[in-house]
């Protein structure tokens, strides 16, 4: 794996923005797991029949908060690592 701190500052910012969007997609997917699906039209059943679509167990608000805070913590830690100053080695004879 290449040393990401050797990238230019603009490249590191672009990498973090892309990582943020990836976490947005992952978080949206995790929070919507077990949801009712699409909110429009007939979804695999006749609307006026006695059949129904079984709904999954939604995450509570607190669980959703934990998902988002966890993803934000991972993104923040990765931002600190990627944006940390690169180590410069000087041959100082003193």
Asked whether residue 63 is assigned to any structural domain, the reply reads yes
Residue carrying structure tokens 């429009």: 40
Q: Tokens for 57, please give them.
A: 């167990």
Confidence of residue 14 (pLDDT cuts 50, 70, 90): very high
Asked whether residue 46 is assigned to any structural domain, the reply reads no
Are residues 12 and 82 in contact, defined by beta-carbon separation less than 8 angstroms? Answer: yes
Asked whether residue 30 is assigned to any structural domain, the reply reads yes
Count of domains in the chain?
1
Average pLDDT, the chain: 77
Residue carrying structure tokens 């709904």: 55
The verdict on pTM exceeding 0.85 is: no
DSSP 48: T
Q: Tokens for 73, please give them.
A: 């913590």
Range of the domain at 13: 1-34+58-83
Tens digits of per-residue pLDDT, 21-67? 999 999 988 888 766 555 555 555 566 665 555 554 477 889 889 99
Burial of 16 (0-12, 13-18, 19+ CB in 10 A): middle
Q: What is the pLDDT of residue 56?
A: 45
């Amino acid at each position: 794996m290449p040393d990401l701190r050797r990238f230019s500052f603009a490249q590191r910012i672009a990498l973090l923005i892309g990582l943020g969007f990836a976490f947005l997609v992952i978080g949206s997917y995790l929070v919507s797991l077990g949801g009712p699906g699409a909110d429009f039209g007939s979804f695999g059943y006749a609307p006026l029949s006695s059949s129904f679509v079984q709904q999954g167990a939604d995450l509570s608000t607190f669980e959703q908060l934990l998902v988002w805070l966890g993803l934000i913590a991972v993104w923040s830690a990765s931002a600190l690592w990627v944006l940390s100053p690169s180590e410069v080695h000087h041959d100082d004879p003193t």
